[in-house]
Structure 1
Amino acid sequence: MGAHAEVRDMRETAHAAQVRELTAAGALEDPRWRAAFAAVPRHVFVPYYYTGRGAGHERLWAEDPDPEQRARWLRGVYTDAPLATRLRDGELVSSSSQPSLMAKMLEALDVRDGDHVLEIGAGTGYNAALLCHRLGDDLVTSVDLDEEITESARAHLDRLGYHPTVVTGDGARGCPARAPFDRILVTCTIPLIPPAWLGQCRPGARILAPLSTGLIALTVRDAAFAEGRFLHTSAYFVPLRGATAAPPGTYGMSQGIPYELVENERFQFMLVLTSGALHPREALDLWRREGRPARERFGVTVGPEGQWSWLDDPQGPYVWPLGEPAPA
């Protein structure tokens, strides 16, 4: 076997093993998404990535002259973990999401044949490729603020013969030229639902977006109203950059809170979700009183009069405005 054939075999073996692992873990229950993951190799979309090492970052890449470094790169690509793919001044600006979370989000998006999907955050192009395999190129639009990111995503997609519409622009403004959409999939954390998205959706459309440390699944009624609950899973993404970039104010997040509770994932979710509306001590008292509620008991309503999160019931009694400035 020649060197190139051996490399190809190693990559195909690692790819197939990851699909089996995701399936065994229950992340790929839908056979159509299982087929998409089997058809789209992740390594094409992450020819290099960064790992934390000491005070800096180490770059691992596919063409490293050291075979052991190339092997490390490949192991990392097919590990079920997010990968830092673009840094700027030491700050992470783009990444390849954890494959199992991608699979869960795609299944939760509940796409049907013929659905037109808008992806906010092009990343490496991997997610768009999976959508193209499932729906076809013409039904997939991906938007990112950074021209370097969109150019790179297009190049990766082109290598595998996928040609969705990849647009450089502010994701918070959606993509009116390609509307209306049946589904919007967001791959960056947002503090609020940009109103432009609702106006670009068909009635009954679904928006799936990272908010706080969870995933909100909204059903759009019309251009002025959407509502839905959080999924049970946690989600951590690079923040959206652009018109809706500023996160809600957080103040004294650990003020008077026992450290072990600040680190508790369920409580941290509520703390971020209600930041600026509830003092951390109020949030803790309510969280304890309500039996330490999981993410799926919370929801979000977007209406003409504003946006608010809620516990159990959108009509109250536990309702908090989203994106409120933090108290002084």
Structure 2
Amino acid sequence: MTGPQHDAVTGFRTRFLLASAAWAVLVAAVLVAVPLAFADRLPDPLATHWGASGRPDGSMTFGAFVLFPVVLWAVVAGLCAGVAARARTLARRAPRAWACAGLAWAGGFMVLIQAFTIAANLDRGHWTRAAGMTWQVAMVVVAPMALGALGRLAGRRGPDVSPAPPRTGPLIDLDPRKRQVWVSTASASWATWLVLVALAAGASIAGLTLTGRSSIGWGAVVPFAVTAVVGVMLSSVSVRVVPEALTVSAGPLRWPSRRVRLDRVERAWAEERYPGQVGGWGYRGLPGHATIMIRGGECLVVRYTSGGELAITVDDAAAGAALINALVARRRPFVGR
């Protein structure tokens, strides 16, 4: 990308990074300053978890209560800003808007949880006498969503570079004496960071529980363990094309996998797609019209004879599409001619 459009994106990137950094610093400052301002009116430890009844059933030391959210926010903010600041994401309005929405939502969510936690513990003397949580739960869900919507609107301001139109690409000549195979992969750094953050958070809670500095319990470790497993599955994707079928496998263990027979395929092409266009990362859409999205950018798109499509984020997608089209044309010589 060169010329005036490139200059506009470059200038916008500087402003975007400054705004993201300002938001990250503001949220971090609130997460540190507010509990310190009320330190002499809070018990130590203080209640940090409430059960289904709305009564407190878990606690954390004051030091951990201040430190843990700040560290978690630093990782989350860095991850969101890093994804949004990538050249290909920043130049597109839709993915940039969703990244900004995530950054705004996460900051609001963490500040609101801290505010309600402090309010429940204020002047209570002991964490077991903390106020209950009822309507606050709904506020924690709704208010950050409104802030995320504002972040999405803010992210829509700026340049919007249209992607190149889809190209089927030329057919390649196949040697009938050889068996053709194409294998390619793609990896997602954000998923690796998600795994690391989830493992670190789970290990921190486990350590605090073992040392008696928190009574949250082992149940709080489960969501982080599940998040780590999901992150591992989304950390990479592998696509294999042979004359009989296309196979898509997830994660380093290549499981789960999905097999599509080539007699069900009409044609294939390479196309740029981004999480903001398909609703996020992971398996998006419905069977027959789905996207396996682990990172924005180059995708291998396969159209079925039934009219549905499957898109997979994978490197060197054009080569895979060329082989698929050649194999389909060999099965049905009139296709692509």
Which is greater in Rg? 2
Q: TM-score, normalised by structure 2?
A: 0.29
Q: TM-score, normalised by structure 1?
A: 0.30
Which is strand-richer, 1 or 2?
1
Higher RCO (CA 8 Å, separation ≥ 6 residues): 2
Which is helix-richer, 1 or 2?
2
